Structure 1
Amino acid sequence: MKIYCCETHVNHALDVFIAKEETFPILETIKKDEKLSTKCEYCDTPATYIVANG
């Protein structure tokens, strides 16, 4: 599972991930070249973080 999120929605993404996967995620910052096309899953802002399980 991967959730792309902005600075505003990072806490919500962490909560959703933990609720669905029942484990703690890895929080990574998106690379500059990926930021151009990747949007937050909760709004239209460019994503800053990837919340994932590896």
Structure 2
Amino acid sequence: MIFCCKEHVELALDIMVDEHELAPILEEVKREIELSTPCEYCSNPAAYIVANKNSGT
């Protein structure tokens, strides 16, 4: 599972496909999580969660 901002969503999608060879699930971050969760690639607030069925969602 990867938390990412709008700027890095394509990078997160590419990484998930490369690692799992499956189409990832893209989900918007809920408001209560948004306030405290940063993007994994920069310090911006996360806007999306990129995951697949095997990574916990």
TM-score range, shorter chain: over 0.9
Give me the TM-score of the superposition, normalised by structure 2.
0.90
Structure 1 residues not aligned, in runs of 5+: none
Give me the TM-score of the superposition, normalised by structure 1.
0.95
Structure 2 residues not aligned, in runs of 5+: none
Q: How many residues align?
A: 53
RMSD value, Cα: 0.5
Q: Percent identity?
A: 53
Listed one character per residue, the Cα deviations across residues 1-52 of structure 1 (whole Å, up to 9, x for unaligned) are x000000000000000000011001000000111011000000000000001
